[in-house]
Amino acid sequence: MNEKNNLTNQMPIHKRGLKFYASIYKKIIIQDIKSKMSYRADFIISTVGMVMTNLAGFLTFMILFHNFPTINGWDYHHMLFLYGFSLVALTPVQCFFDNNWNLRFQVQSGDFIKYCFRPINVFFYFISEVFDVKGLGQLAFGLGTLGYAWHKIGLPVTALNIGKTIVFLITASLFMIAIMNFAAATCFWIIGSGYVMVIMFRFKDFARYPASIFSGIFKIIFTFIIPIAFVAYYPSLVLLTPDKVPVLSWLSPLFGVLFFYLSYRFWMLGVRKYDFTGS
């Protein structure tokens, strides 16, 4: 496909509004959920598996704090708050962006070319094809954990705190989504990109720990290069330490939007490479 055809294919995209994409997304999601619900046993087993995985993480915390009352000044309930916060923040990447795991297979097989011939945004079209319903089990577990820790810490339930929680949970989600967008898009250049995806996804386990436990080069890496510290630690400090919130916490919404946008541009850069080369 030449550049002229590519531009012709992309021009109508800019005329599409949010209402149009919301309508299309709703229809795609409904069809995807219907197809998954036709295999109810698989859905139930996957959901239970997701809950059990998170329960195992919860038990790990109990065992850890049975031997160590605090970790770098963080007690059990504050760490549990961070854990619950990270689970909720990771839910969007699990539910809405799970198709990134299939990107490398589509690119390698050549099937990805079909996404380039539709008069809608390629990124939207590809990502919206899959909704991982078992991620809702993670959401429920995360909300329960967050609510329990919130109560034990004694945080006031106010409209302001709830508003900040929503804003900074969305902020935290943007960072993890962006990390996985970057990792998935490497398949346009790297044949063995699956390893990149797995490594980046495993970094999410560090999100449940305060960045203050890291030192030197690792703290720099997890803050500015692979910003796992923004998936839970910095956003949650707005609630946990309202009297001494770090500047990075207040700036995290701006950084989150910027990082997500850069990941989107990188993803689309890969699409253009694939489009022009036919690789």
- Mean confidence (pLDDT) of the chain: 86
Per-residue pLDDT, averaged over 258-272, amounts to 96
Q: What is the 3-state secondary structure (H, E, C) of the chain?
A: CCHHHHHHHHHHHHHCCHHHHHHHHHHHHHHHHHHHHCCHHHHHHHHHHHHHHHHHHHHHHHHHHHHCCEECCEEHHHHHHHHHHHHHHHHHHHHCCHHHHHHHHHHHHCHHHHHHHCCCCHHHHHHCCCCCCCHHHHHHHHHHHHHHHHHHHCCCCCHHHHHHHHHHHHHHHHHHHHHHHHHHHHHHCCCCHHHHHHHHHHHHHHHHCCHHHCCCHHHHHHHHHCCHHHCCHHHHHHHHCCCCCCHHHHHHHHHHHHHHHHHHHHHHHHHHHHHHHCC
CA-atom Rg of the chain in angstroms: 20
All residues at 6 or more sequence positions from 114 whose CB lies less than 8 Å from its CB, including other chains: none
Contact, 97 vs 25, CB < 8 A? no
Q: According to the model, what pLDDT value does residue 271 have?
A: 94
Q: According to the model, what pLDDT value does residue 2 have?
A: 45
All residues at 6 or more sequence positions from 213 whose CB lies less than 8 Å from its CB, including other chains: 71, 72
Q: pLDDT-based confidence at 15, cuts 50/70/90?
A: low
Q: According to the model, what pLDDT value does residue 184 have?
A: 97
- pTM of the full structure: 0.86
pLDDT tens digits, residue range 205-228?
Answer: 888 889 888 888 988 999 999 999
Angstrom distances, CA of residue 6 to CA of 9, 59, 108, 266, 267: 5, 52, 20, 17, 16
What are the residue ranges spanned by the domains of the chain?
3-277
Instruction: Take residue 39 and report the two structure tokens written for it.
Output: 């295999």
Q: According to the model, what pLDDT value does residue 9 have?
A: 43
Least confident of 46-55, 195-204, 239-248: 46-55
Instruction: Take residue 207 and report the two structure tokens written for it.
Output: 């999100």
Answer yes or no: is pLDDT of 199 > 50: yes
pLDDT tens digits, residue range 119-165?
Answer: 889 999 999 988 888 788 889 889 999 999 999 999 999 999 999 99
pLDDT tens digits, residue range 26-68?
Answer: 888 777 777 766 666 766 777 777 777 777 777 877 787 777 7
Angstrom distances, CA of residue 213 to CA of 71, 134, 142, 192, 244: 8, 32, 23, 32, 18
Instruction: Take residue 17 and report the two structure tokens written for it.
Output: 């509004």
